[in-house]
Amino acid sequence: MTSSPRLPPRSPRLVLTAFSLIVACAPKGSTHRRVVTGSLPAEAATAPSPKSVTPHAWSSGARHQVVRDPSGSPSVVWRVDLGTPLVHDLVVRGSQLYTAGGGEVFCVRADGSTCWTADLEAVGGLAARGSGLAVPTERETLIDVAFDGAVQETLSTTGIIADSPVVLSGELVWVTSTGQVGSETGWTVAASDSAVGRPAANERHLFFGTETGDIIAVNRAQTQWRAVLPGPVVGGVVATNARVFAAYRGEKGRPGGVTALAADSGELLWRMPLSETPAAAPALGEYLVVADRSGEIFAFETETGDLAWTAEVAGSPVTAPTLGQFGLYIGNADGRLHRFDPDDGGEIWSIQLGATPSTAPILLPQTVVIGTTDGNLIAVGGK
């Protein structure tokens, strides 16, 4: 086990809008980039050279998209009021966005216009695959919906799905709130008595967290391993073929932290404490990035757990981070969407949305989209 020193504590109604109050926050360190407060100088507006990045599959939970980020100063380019709080991860398929809330499933185009809405008694998050959307429902079913909104098939899940289904080796699988793993081909595993957050899958296993702080690995019809964390899992897990990452809550006066396990065995590879309880699940790109409720954002080396950089926001992050090609995006409790440099943690810009962000951001080319607690889907682009 490799361990790093403990961190020191800290002492559909479319409305085009010109509302784009840009709030500048001073960089934390000399290596951080300046924050945008107006138009970018010509040399700063030039797009960086593309990096050699291997994107992670959607089912990994990495929240990493190799998509062109917005350029220039941020502005709200559209917002659409869906009429219900949005709390589940957004799904992108081509130039369309999908989300669920208040029992309904929504399809929104990249320009903010609404494609369709369907009342399916949806609960939890959606999953997209070749045939369409997989929609968990409160009737303990999973509805297969075509991308045009047509219902194609309904499967029994023998329980309410805890978050969203994922794809494992081409097969749709899920975990119920009582810890039962199910699949579209009919195999099941009684793996636990609870499940929290979004599960993740690599090429061989499904991984999920529990209320008691377990990470469980399951493959076809059997539990492979179980690892115990110091506290309950926060937000879900992230998986690659080599490692599984998770954030966990602290207990008995201890802060929360983040950990890495071997994907094939559950062996502890490293563990690092945070300053406070994690705000949400981590994101995975070049570094593993996680925010805590005190406002600190941490980037860790994935192999060793060494701290690469830290950043800070005023207040408390309320969404999981999302990585683009050259940006790290996170929503804050004060209504701001922040963009950071994923290489060094320097804040590039922040923008006031007018409502509390409630979904992890997601990227379309040159646009970041995020859901809010007041039911708006908001797109931020450059100008």
CATH of the domain at 234: 2.130.10.10
pLDDT in single tens digits along all 383 residues of the chain: 444 444 444 434 333 333 333 333 333 333 444 344 333 333 333 344 444 445 567 788 999 998 899 999 999 999 999 999 999 999 999 999 999 999 999 999 999 999 999 999 999 999 998 889 999 999 999 999 999 999 999 999 989 999 999 999 889 999 999 999 999 999 999 999 999 999 999 999 999 999 999 999 999 889 999 999 999 999 999 999 999 999 999 988 888 999 999 999 999 999 999 999 999 999 999 999 999 999 999 999 999 999 999 999 998 999 999 999 899 999 999 999 999 999 999 999 999 999 999 999 999 999 999 999 999 999 999 98
Distances (CA, A) of 336 to 16, 255, 380: 19, 25, 11
Based on DSSP, count helices (H) and strands (E) in the chain, helices before strands: 1, 33
Q: Is residue 57 part of a domain?
A: yes
Q: End-to-end distance of the chain based on CA atoms, in angstroms? A: 48
Q: What are phi and psi of 229, to 5 degrees?
A: -95, 165
Q: Is residue 190 part of a domain?
A: yes
Element (H, E) at 216: strand 214-219
Q: Is residue 76 part of a domain?
A: yes
Give one word for 193, left, alpha or beta, with left for phi > 0 and alpha for psi -120 to 50.
alpha
Q: Is residue 1 part of a domain?
A: no
Residues 65, 66, 67, 73: is their CA dihedral positive or negative? positive
Q: What is the pLDDT of residue 6?
A: 44
114, 80 Cβ separation under 8 angstroms: yes
Q: What is the pLDDT of residue 66?
A: 86
Q: Is residue 6 part of a domain?
A: no
Q: What is the pLDDT of residue 54?
A: 54
Q: What is the pLDDT of residue 130?
A: 85
Q: What are phi and psi of 45, to 5 degrees?
A: -80, -15
- Name the one residue in this structure whose structure tokens are 């409720």: 293
Q: Please give the radius of gyration of the chain, using alpha carbons only, rounded to the nearest integer.
A: 20
Query: What pTM was estimated for this model as a whole?
Result: 0.86
**Model confidence pLDDT, tens digit, residues 294-331:** 999 999 999 999 999 999 999 899 999 999 989 999 99
Cα 8 to Cα 157: distance, rounded to the nearest angstrom? 45
Element (H, E) at 291: strand 287-291
Tokens of residue 105, six digits: 């499933």
Tokens of residue 157, six digits: 């899940």
**Model confidence pLDDT, tens digit, residues 145-199:** 999 999 999 999 989 999 999 999 889 999 999 999 999 999 999 999 999 999 9
Cα 202 to Cα 90: distance, rounded to the nearest angstrom? 20
The pairs formed by 80-83 with CB atoms below 8 angstroms and a separation of 24 or more are: 80/12, 80/13, 80/14, 80/15, 80/108, 80/112, 80/113, 80/114, 80/376, 80/377, 81/12, 81/13, 81/15, 81/374, 81/375, 81/376, 82/12, 82/106, 82/108, 82/375, 82/376, 82/377, 83/13, 83/375
Report the candidate in 25, 36, 112, 35 with the shortest Cα–Cα distance to residue 370: 112
The residue type at 126: L
Q: Is 50 helix (H, G, I), strand (E, B) or coil?
A: coil
DSSP 313: -
Cα 118 to Cα 101: distance, rounded to the nearest angstrom? 11
Split into its structural domains, the chain has a count of 1
Domain coverage including residue 201: 13-382
Q: Is residue 4 part of a domain?
A: no
